[in-house]
Amino acid sequence: MISDIQAFVRGMPLRFYLSGGLFSRQEPMISFHVGENEIEALVSYKRKPIGFEDELHRDPDAPPTMSYGQPYKPTANGRKVSAKLASRYHVPQRCQHLFVVDAPADEVFLNLFTLEKLRRRNVEEALADLRQAPGQILSGWSRNDFRWQILDASLRLSGNPKANSEDPILVMGLSESVCLPLEVWSDDQGAALVGILPLPVAVLAWCNAVLPTDQKHSIILVAGETGVVVGIIKERKLTNLLKVQTIEDALANVRRNAEEFALEDPAMYLWYSKPPTISDDELTQEGLTIIDQEHLRATLGTPLVLMQSTGKRTSHDGPIPHLLNWLAKQ
């Protein structure tokens, strides 16, 4: 008890309390899309999108990117980027951070299992064992520098995942080399950390919530900067997950395993953060619906009207602002 009090007195965020955090109910959230070299950020407050920064990577105090060989060096002097964004968009200085990371393929683990296959009784037990000794639960897994999370097949980001022994669960792993620099940077900014989400998971969850995946079997291709993740969703539940290198590989894989997937007149969607090498026409011929500005405008109706760093208000129909906005509301 006394040690708890001592720990609290030693670690209490006095600056946060004194800046009004003691009585605050809502804080602005800065949602970052962290790519290999590029960073975008959406500032939202009270569940409303306020501003969008499409070139935040140019700021010297920007969060660490996912590129290899560039260790994160925190800036010693100068104003923190979170404080800058908060004052630029006239929101309180106390911020929360959410990161959507387009991490390299070998720094992310994504796979669908069932509790039966993992030989665990419930999600909590499976998660505890994953965190303690991942090699014992995932055969052949040798790395111990991963953090682990589990989502149920409905890909709900809030609430505890619930699954029976035969229901698919999404086991997610993210390496410490991705998480720790972001956590340290966020700590240095004096912000709270809401979460770090791998881009494919965030996109699949968003697509499952926004697209009519309950009406049609859906194949969703999430093309990141270093790979493609294919998620097959039936009746709002993720049933299959594939990790491949390119969009062509993904399409070939889907065709090859069409019988196994048991898809009935599926809708195919493509979400990409960067335009792929294949032209949009070719992709359309393959039967893919590209989740681009046009599609989003048609699906969601209204564009996001966001303030730019210049102070000018502009409409945004891009997939990343919509994704970050949706995540900020979860």
Partner 1 sequence: MQPFFVSEEKLARQAYRYDRRYRLAALILMIAILLQVPFLVLLYDQNRIRKEEESRGGFALQKEAQITAQLSSLNETEVQLARIKSWEPILRGRMPASAVLGAVEQTIPRDVVLSRIVLEAANYRSVSLNPGSFRVPATYTITLLGEQKVPDPGVWESFIAKLLSRLPPGSNVMTSKVGKDENPKTGLLTCRAVLQAQANGNYFPLGVNKVDAEENL
Closest approach of Cβ 67 to partner 1, in Å? 19
| 20 contributes a contact to partner 1 by CB under 8 A | no
Size of the site for partner 1 (CB under 8 A): 30
Closest approach of Cβ 152 to partner 1, in Å? 11
Shorter beta-carbon distance to partner 1: residue 150 or 290? 150
Pick out residues in 195-254 that bind partner 1 (CB under 8 A): 195-197
| 327 contributes a contact to partner 1 by CB under 8 A | yes
Please, are residues 182 and 196 in contact by the beta-carbon 8 Å criterion?
Answer: yes
Closest approach of Cβ 48 to partner 1, in Å? 17
Q: Which stretch binds partner 1 (CB under 8 A): 4-12, 51-59, 280-288, 306-314?
A: 4-12
C-alpha 126/C-alpha 291 separation (Å) is 34
Radius of gyration of the chain (CA): 21
| 149 contributes a contact to partner 1 by CB under 8 A | yes
Pairing of strands 288-290, 267-272: parallel
Closest approach of Cβ 27 to partner 1, in Å? 9
Length of the chain: 330
C-alpha 1/C-alpha 4 separation (Å) is 5
| 157 contributes a contact to partner 1 by CB under 8 A | yes
C-alpha 226/C-alpha 244 separation (Å) is 10
Q: Which stretch binds partner 1 (CB under 8 A): 79-87, 193-201, 231-239, 242-250?
A: 193-201
| 147 contributes a contact to partner 1 by CB under 8 A | yes
| 98 contributes a contact to partner 1 by CB under 8 A | yes
Shorter beta-carbon distance to partner 1: residue 115 or 182? 182
Report which of 42, 82, 43 is spatially closest to residue 62, judged by C-alpha positions: 82
Please, are residues 30 and 96 in contact by the beta-carbon 8 Å criterion?
Answer: yes
Among positive and negative, which fits the CA dihedral 116, 216, 292, 313?
Answer: negative
Please, are residues 327 and 31 in contact by the beta-carbon 8 Å criterion?
Answer: yes
- AA identity, residue 291: I
Would you tell me which residues interact with partner 1 (CB under 8 A)?
Answer: 8-9, 11-13, 16-17, 21-22, 98, 147, 149, 157-160, 172, 174, 179-180, 183, 187, 192-197, 327, 330
